[in-house]
Structure 1
Amino acid sequence: MSKNELVAKIEALNEWEAVIEEAKAEAEAIRDSIKAEMMERDTEEMTAGKYIVRWTSVLSNRFDTTAFKKAHGELYKEYTKQSASRRFSISA
């Protein structure tokens, strides 16, 4: 692949990523308007045509690693393992 082709691909990628971000923002705005309607109706479930929309409260328990590290630092280190991954980035 030539340098010009690579530059063209990077520019195309940047354009597509901009389109994706715009679409995500639009989807989030629509999602927020549906949530606002559900709050106005004071409901967690709503039927609209063939769709059932749910916006429910969820409780979950999560392990507090920060507190565990402070209280049991050596034990934390004993059970921690390093992992490797690759990251793709483009900067101008």
Structure 2
Amino acid sequence: MIVIYVEDLEDFVNLLSERVMDKIFYEFNGSINDHNVHKESPNQITLQFLSKVENSLVLYETIFDGEPNEISKIQEVLDEAEIELKLIKGKIREIFLSYS
């Protein structure tokens, strides 16, 4: 599997037409404070989807600052626009490797 990090969220959205399934996976990334303790409030969201180029799977990934409530807002926008995409909580790498 090839992993491509897309720095700009808009570029990530533009690549969605290349996906092989109607699912975008997301996870929350908390931060670590000075005492090496994980903060309870995540401040970053990772989005991932799978694509296929010839015989290779490609994982596209982007990270942006945001709070957990933004996921439901994104899903609402997708639903209102009648775009058949579902946001699924999980790490696609782990899910993919468990099926391989």
TM range (shorter): under 0.3
The higher relative CO (CA closer than 8 Å, separation ≥ 6) is in 2
TM-score using structure 1 length = 0.25
- Could you say which structure has the higher strand fraction? 2
- How does the TM-score come out when normalised to structure 2? 0.23
